[in-house]
Chain A
Amino acid sequence: MSQTAVKRNSKPTSPWKPSKKLNNANAVQSLNGRWGYLFTAPFFVMFLIFGLAPIVYSVYIAFFNWDALGTQEFIGIANFNELIADTRFWNALVNTVDIWLLSTIPMLICSIGLAAILHNPHLRGSTFWRTILLVPNITSVLAIAIVFGQLFGRDFGMVNIIIGSLGFDHIDFIQGTTSSHVAIASMIVWRWTGYNALIFLAAMLAIPGELYESASLDGASKWKQFIYVTLPSLRNTITFVLIVGTIGGLQVFAEPLILGGSYNGGDSGQFSTLTLFLFEQAFVAYKWGYAAAIGIMITFIVAIVSFINFMITRKLAGDGK
Chain B
Amino acid sequence: MLFNKLSAKTAALVTAGLISMGSLGAITPAQAVVDCTTATADTATCTVLKVETFGDVIQPALVADYRKLHPEIKLSIKKSDLDALNGTSLYTQCAAGGAGNPDIAAVEISYSGYWRSYPQCFTDLRTLRTSVGNKSATELKKDYLPWRWEQGVGYNDSVIGIPTDVGGLEVAYRWDLFKAKGLPYKRADVSKAWNTWPKFIEFGKKYMAKVSAADKKKNIGFMDNVATIYAAMMNQGTQKYYKNNGTDAGQLVFKTNPQVKLAFNTTIDAGKAGIGTRIGQFSSDWNVGMTKGTFAVMLAPAWMMDYIKGQAPTTKGKWDIADIPGGGGNQGGSQLTIPKGAKHKQEAWDFISWYLAPAQQLKVFQIYGLFPSTPSLYTDPDLVGFKDPFFNNAPTGAIYADGVKKLKPIFEGKLQRCIDMAMGSAISLVINGKEKVPSKAFATGIAAADKCK
Contact = CB atoms under 8 A, between A and B. Distances in A.
Contacts of B3: 30, 34-35
A35 B10 CA distance: 13
Contacts of B59: none
B429 to A, nearest CB: 5
Q: Is the interface of A mostly helix, strand, loop or mixed?
A: loop
A187 to B, nearest CB: 15
A155 B221 CA distance: 12
B266 interface: no
Contacts of A286: 91
A130 interface: no
Nearest to A269: B425
B284 A27 contact: no
Nearest to B115: A69
A270 B433 CA distance: 13
B94 A156 contact: no
Given A155-B285, A174-B283, A268 B278 contact: no
A94 to B, nearest CB: 14
A267 B280 contact: yes
A55 interface: no
A269 to B, nearest CB: 7
A283 B84 contact: yes
A68 B217 contact: no
Interface residues of B, number: 43
A140 interface: no
A115 B2 CA distance: 55
B95 A69 contact: yes
Interface on chain B toward A: helix, strand, loop, or mixed SS? helix
Contact of B82 (A172, A261, A268): A261
A268 B84 contact: no
Interface string B153-193: 00000000000000000000000000000000000000000
Interface string A30-47: 100011000000000000
A157 interface: yes
Given A169-B217, A267-B424, A285-B418, A30 B283 contact: no
B231 to A, nearest CB: 14
B432 A268 contact: yes
B91 A155 contact: no
Interface string A238-279: 000000000000000000010001111001111000000000
B219 A283 contact: no
A249 to B, nearest CB: 23
Interface in A72-92: 86, 88
A261 B282 contact: yes
B24 to A, nearest CB: 25
A69 B429 contact: no
A172 B425 contact: no
B285 A156 contact: yes
Contact of B280 (A86, A88, A156, A261): A261
A287 B91 CA distance: 12
For A23, A88, A157, A262, the residue with the greatest tally of chain B CB atoms inside 10 Å of its CB is A262
A154 B282 CA distance: 13
Nearest to A30: B3
A59 to B, nearest CB: 18
Interface in A130-178: 149-150, 153-157, 169-170, 172, 174-175
A283 B91 contact: yes
Interface string B220-245: 00000001000000000000000000
B444 to A, nearest CB: 9
B23 interface: no
Interface in B54-104: 82-84, 87-88, 91-92, 94-95
A155 B219 contact: yes
Contacts of B87: 283
Nearest to B289: A155
A68 B425 contact: no
A268 B434 contact: yes
A88 B82 CA distance: 22
A214 interface: no
A34 B3 CA distance: 9
A174 B277 CA distance: 14
Contact of B278 (A150, A156, A175): A175
Contact of B428 (A30, A149, A267, A284): A267
Interface string B267-280: 00000000001111
A133 to B, nearest CB: 28
Contacts of B82: 257, 261-262
12 contacts: A23-B2, A26-B2, A34-B3, A68-B92, A69-B94, A70-B118, A149-B283, A155-B289, A262-B82, A268-B429, A283-B84, A283-B91
Given A30-B3, A69-B94, 9 more contacts: A70-B118, A88-B448, A154-B279, A155-B277, A169-B217, A170-B219, A267-B428, A283-B91, A284-B417
Closest 4 CB pairs of A and B: A267-B428, A68-B95, A283-B88, A156-B288
